Structure formats: C-alpha cells, structure tokens
Structure 1
Amino acid sequence: MVRELFNSIAKRYDLVNRLTTLGLDKRWRRKACEIALTYVDVKKPRILDVACGTGDMIMCMRKRLERRGIPAKFYGLDCSERMLEIAKKKVPFAELKVGNAEEILFPDGSFDLVSVAFGLRNFSDREKAIGEIHRVLKRRGILLILEFSRSESLLGKLTWFYTRSVVPIIGGILTGNREAYNHLWRSIETFPSPEELSMEFEKRGFKVLTMEWFFPRIAFVMVLEKV
C-alpha cells in the first residue's frame, strides 16, 4: 500500500512538500544533517539513506560534507520505483536501490551513518527495520531520524490542526490523491512520541545522543549511536 501510495504522488511530491511546509522541510533536513554530521568522525564515510524518496536527504548531506572537504559514498534505499526515478536525476552520484527497511541488502557493518527522514512511520515492521539498521551500521555508527510526531504544546496543537485539515486539501488538489495525504496525518496520529521512540531504539542496541523539536513542533530530529 505504501509503495503504491508514493508511486502515485511521486511527480509532485517535492512540490507539495515545499508548499505545505512553506519551505520548512528543507530547513528541517538541513538542520538535521548539520546535527548528525557533527558526530561522524570518519575521513571517507559510507552513508545510507533509508526511505530516500527523491533524494533530498542525500543531497543535503553531500553539500554539508563537501563544505568540510570530506568525500563520502552515498547509497539510497526506497520501496517506490517512481520516487527513485526522480532521485536518480537529482543525486546521480548515489547508488540507489529498490528495497525495504525490513530487509536491507547490505552486509553487516557496512555504513558509518544511516539516515531515515520521514520514513520511519511507514515501515510495516518497525522492530525488524530497527534491527536491520543496527545490523548494517558499524560499531559506534550514527543513526539520524527525522520524523513527524504530535506535540502537546499550543504551537504543536495548532500545527496538528493544519496538518490534519489543510494539508490533505492542498495535496489532493496538486496530486489528485487526497487519500495519500490523509495517510500522512493518520500515520502521525498513531506514531510514538520521541520519548517512546527513544526507548524502542535503546532496547535494540542504540544510545540516544540528542533529540530536538523543530519549529513549529511537528517535526523532530533524533541522533543515535550503535552500541
């Protein structure tokens, strides 16, 4: 279902993201990359972006590493073929594969950093996916999670109202698939809080290094280390 959903909206996925977040999605990715990369102390890191979509996170990380003069090898994994078709044009330097987080087709200890941006909510078996991410990370490797969740602050409640009521209308008009954007808020509604999520990761061999809400408290970043 998730694969078909993202295939159906792939062509206008980036446009809807920019419009519905007023461009904040780019700022969230940029800040998340900056935070996570401070923990990566490797001369030539190998980086995997799981649920890579159209490649925005890969591009973001590459720009930041280039500014520091650090060469990196990038890989992307996504279940949607149409999203990857767009990603291949945006990030031709990355090795992109069709696949699922529950079965990552790379050897143990392959990566210095794994990122998942707005994809964790869509995993069919989150426990298995976390185990796979843990497996392909090197010891003391870094995991970057950028995700949506609900905040009980006033600003968070206002943003949640917008996400639930307005975003599906805009997304539906631009893509012709309003149900895809109803899925967005439904997946957020049932997703754990950052605190609950951190406990899930800690039970499966990770240590939380930092967690931070981003304005307007609908998205958060969590950076973890494999222990």
Structure 2
Amino acid sequence: MSKADLSKKPEAVSAMFDSVAHSYDKTNDLLSFGQSRFWRGKVAKAVAAKSGERILDIAAGTGTSSMAFVGPGISVVAADFSNGMLNEGRKRYPQLEFVFADAMRLPFKDQEFDVVTMSFGLRNVSDHRVALGEFLRVLKPGGRLVICEFSHVPGLLGVLYRFYLRNFLPKFSALFSKSPEAYDYLAESIAAWPNQKQLAQDIANAGFSGVGFKNLTLGVVALHTAVKQ
C-alpha cells in the first residue's frame, strides 16, 4: 500500500477501503479500545439532527456513522468513495440511502443539505481544501458542518501516542485485520495531517463562519464545527 506521504490517489484509497470493508467497524472498535463509539456519539450530538432536515454523511463507510442521525422526518444520505464499503452498508442498513461520491466532486446540487458531516475521512482526500469548498457548496445557507478527524495530542502524551501509532498500531492491527497495511497508512496519515488550529483555519478559509473545535480523548480526535452564512 502506498504510504501517506506518497499518495492519496483516489483509486488507491478506494481499493484500500474495499479490502477492509467487511471487518472495518469491528477492527476500529478494537483498535480504538471502544472510543470509536464515544466519538460517534459526540458527532451525533454536534449534528443535532432535526425533523425536516437532509443530512449528508461523507466517507460514511458501511453506514454505521450515518445510523446515528436517523430519526422521524430526517433524510440521511450515506456517501462514500469505496464500493466495497457501500455494498457492505447496503446489506447492513437497507433503510439508508447510499451514494457513491468523491468528496472533491460531490454529485449533489447546490444548497441541497442542512448538515454535512464527515468522520475520519477528510484526511484521506487528496486535497481537503477542495473538499471543504464542495461541502460549502452543497450546504444551505445556515447549514452546519461537522468534521471529526484524528488530530494531534500535545506534550509528552503526544510523544507516547505517536510512538504507539508508529510501533504498535500496525502490529496490533495485524491480529484483527487481513489488511494491516491499511493501518500503516492510518498511522502515517495521522502524523502528516494538519493540527487542530491549522484545520480550523482551512475551514474558515473555505468560507465557513463560526469555526470552532473541541478535542476528544486528549486530542487523539478533534471535532470541528462551522456554519455556512
């Protein structure tokens, strides 16, 4: 598998996620020591879906994240760039609308959604700034953006966390995943990703207002929020 600093070629990223689709949710739960469920709950609270709203969940994978937004009168679109993930999701959650979509060229109309959310996917886009522009385009005025992404742990804890990512995560993942190279990519892509303040600035530069972020699990993950004026 290509390393994070060498490629985020769409076909390579898509193929990587195709290869882990069947075991993706279970493996993530194990490798995050159950924190993935906590993070999904925080995303759902930030999205605060309301009846009558249309929500776009990008990089939805198998749809597990999207199910948190389902409710009376709420329309949820689960979009992903991996057909393997989408096919797995359609089997698990037939009540969801699954759509193949590239985050940098979304197949949706302008001002179509009340909320755009993306969890652990923006880091995999070859140009996340282009994707942020697309999110702005498909949001209605007043629409909300919620981005949950791996980030940077400060201080000594950050040193220990990066050591875990480099030295233990790939080996640990090999016990549970048939594609441990995907978790080599995960560790390297996290290290290469902008920190919390840098990503917040990128969101603001894309044209969003009210940009803010909150660290989760000591900064292992950051929850970014913003609004389209």
Closer/same/farther in 2, CA of residues 173 and 100 from structure 1, 3 Å limit? same
Matched with 2:54 is 46
Aligned match for 1:13, one of 24, 42, 66: 24
Amino acid paired to 1:80: S
Amino acid paired to 1:168: P
**Residue 197 of structure 1: how far off its partner (Å):** 0.7
Q: Which has the higher helix share?
A: 1
| Partners of 1:43 and 1:5 in 2: CA distance | 36
Mapping of residues 140-159 of structure 1, within 5 Å: 140-159=142-161
Alpha-carbon contact 1:109-1:135 (below 8 Å) kept:
yes
Deviations 1:152-185 (A, max 9, x none): 2333332332222222112223223222111001
Q: Unmatched 5+ residue regions in structure 2?
A: 1-11
Matched with 2:43 is 32
Alpha-carbon contact 2:76-2:97 (below 8 Å) kept:
yes
Alpha-carbon contact 2:154-2:219 (below 8 Å) kept:
no
Amino acid paired to 2:151: S
**Residue 97 of structure 1: how far off its partner (Å):** 1.1
Deviations 1:74-130 (A, max 9, x none): 101111111111211333222111121011101000000011000000001212111
The normalised TM-score by structure 1 is: 0.90
**Residue 150 of structure 1: how far off its partner (Å):** 1.5
Mapping of residues 85-164 of structure 1, within 5 Å: 85-164=87-166
| Partners of 1:209 and 1:125 in 2: CA distance | 20
The normalised TM-score by structure 2 is: 0.89
Q: How many residues align?
A: 218
Amino acid paired to 1:4: A
| Partners of 2:221 and 2:144 in 1: CA distance | 19
Amino acid paired to 2:109: P
Q: CA RMSD in A?
A: 1.5
Alpha-carbon contact 1:171-1:181 (below 8 Å) kept:
yes
Moved over 4 A (4+): none
| Partners of 1:112 and 1:127 in 2: CA distance | 20
Matched with 1:77 is 79
Deviations 1:193-227 (A, max 9, x none): 11111111111110244311111421110111012
Matched with 1:167 is 169
Matched with 1:200 is 202
| Partners of 2:93 and 2:144 in 1: CA distance | 22
| Partners of 2:163 and 2:88 in 1: CA distance | 31
Deviations 1:26-62 (A, max 9, x none): 111101211231xx6x531100011111112111222
Alpha-carbon contact 1:205-1:226 (below 8 Å) kept:
yes
Closer/same/farther in 2, CA of residues 127 and 104 from structure 1, 3 Å limit? same
Percent of aligned pairs with the same amino acid: 33
| Partners of 1:161 and 1:218 in 2: CA distance | 13
Q: Greater shift after overlay, 175-184 or 20-29? A: 175-184
